[in-house]
Structure 1
Amino acid sequence: MDQGGTMAAEPSAHFSLDRRTALAGIAGVFGASLFAPLARAAGYEPIPKINTGKPAVVFTPAQRALVAALSERIMPTTDTPGAIAAGVPDYIEHMMGDWAVSDDRDLILGGLAAIDARSMADFQKPALKASSAQQDALLTLTMNDAIPGGAKFFEAFRQLVLTGYFTSEVGIMQERSYLPVPGDYDGAYPASKIDRIFSS
């Protein structure tokens, strides 16, 4: 996978899943609340003029760093790599640059600004410089709509993080158990032995 979160031209011999196909499957989980850029990329909504040139630059360096920090709080590194290692921040900027319209970008940029403003009010520092616990608190306030536009931002941002992660090679091959060809059926397989979601 390259730094932009896209599949490399020469994928692993054990990894051949098309990212758009994976996106369509995961996006279906969000139903009617699916964030518009994801719906377009998954083929659920009409596609506007798409950027086919160089990757669009949407975020300032500070915004890009905050997107990375917040995405890692939503999908942190545990025994498997987190959002940053999976290329999620670059994926989010790609979605905002190539699949979003102005209203979609305004929602994300406005949410980042609101989080930063609340961090300055509560912790006297930008959200990027806040501790992990403080960033979690800011995300909780956002989720609970205690920040202007918070709930809409949080749902859109969460969807971007999850789809970016679970359609990445890291998400499919490490967070889940990748089965290129389903194995034998075992109706008595103990549920206690399942520690990963299977993907194929």
Structure 2
Amino acid sequence: MDRREALRRAGLLLGGVLGAPTVAGVLAGCEASRVPDGSWAPQALTRGQADLVAAIAEHILPATDTPGARAAGVHRFIDAMVAVSYPPPERTRFLAGLAEVDARAARASGRPFLECAVEDQRVLLEALDREAFASPPDRPDGPAVLFFRTMKELTLVGYYTSEIGATRELHHVPVPGRYDGCVPLAQVGRTWAV
């Protein structure tokens, strides 16, 4: 079986839960390099777009008692996914959606998203979230709605496949011991990353 067939079957097996580019990136072992942001250069995004992606990802998964999306390098993961795994039409749609988020912020507050107050950013993203996930399936979606669905998916995959997400947010035992198939969640507290 070749790689293309394996990806197709994995997509069918997952039942469309994750987008094909996301599955391809995870299967390819796409991981952000461990370099400080100052020396990291985005591949598909401009520096400004990467900062915008980092800010949006941090709103989706903010730092709490565990580090947030920015600390996990989710913006780097997303840049690598868009550069390597997205075909040109999907890459163009992603970038158009990113620009539309900035345009919506400018229409609402007269400033680009990154220059808006944190509360204004949150309100805009909550509106996008409601639009993206509460819209009827027969309604055509604009670039910002499609972008936000993709952005949320990539943020979650990037975070929970990062070292921070897998070891600090989820339980992680590098060499697991005994298998106990029926354990109440209250007993273990969190789900496990293996």
Q: TM-score range by the shorter chain?
A: 0.7 to 0.9
2:137 is the counterpart of 1:153: no
Deviations along 1:142-166, one digit per CA (max 9) or x if unpaired, are: 2315983232111111111111111
Q: Which residue is 2:174 aligned to?
A: 180
Q: How many residues align?
A: 165
Structure having greater relative contact order (Cα 8 Å, sep ≥ 6): 1
What code does the residue aligned with 1:95 have? M
TM-score (norm 1): 0.71
User: 1:89-168, aligned counterparts within 5 Å?
Assistant: 89-143=75-129, 144-145=131-132, 148-168=142-162
Structure 2 counterpart of 1:66: 52
Q: Distance in 2 between matches of 1:188 and 1:35?
A: 30
Matched residue, 1:34: 18
- Checking the alignment, whether the CA contact within 8 Å between 1:71 and 1:84 is kept in structure 2 is yes
Question: Counterpart in 2 of 1:50?
Answer: none
**Identity across matched positions, percent:** 35
More helix by share: 2
Distance 1:88 1:125 in 2: 25
Q: Unaligned 5+ residue runs, structure 1?
A: 1-26, 45-54
8 Å contact from structure 2 (residues 42, 50) kept in 1: no
Distance (Å, rounded) in 2 between the aligned partners of 1:93 and 1:155:
16
Task: Report the Cα offset of residue 100 of structure 1.
Answer: 1.0
Evaluate the alpha carbon distance shift between residue 28 and residue 184 of structure 1 in structure 2; reply closer, same or farther with a 3 A threshold.
Answer: farther
Name the CA distance, whole Å, in 2 between partners of 1:59 and 1:187: 44
| Paired residues of 2:43 and 2:79 also in contact (CA < 8 A) | yes
Q: What is the root-mean-square deviation of aligned Cα atoms in Å?
A: 2.9
Structure-to-structure mapping, 1:40-59, within 5 angstroms: 40-42=24-26, 57-59=43-45
Per mean C-alpha deviation after superposition, the further-off stretch among 178-187 and 159-168 is 178-187
3-state SS in 1 of match to 2:86: coil
Give the TM-score, by structure 2 length. 0.73
C-alpha distance 189-57 of structure 1, shift in aligned 2 (>3 A) = closer
Shift of 1:34: 2.8
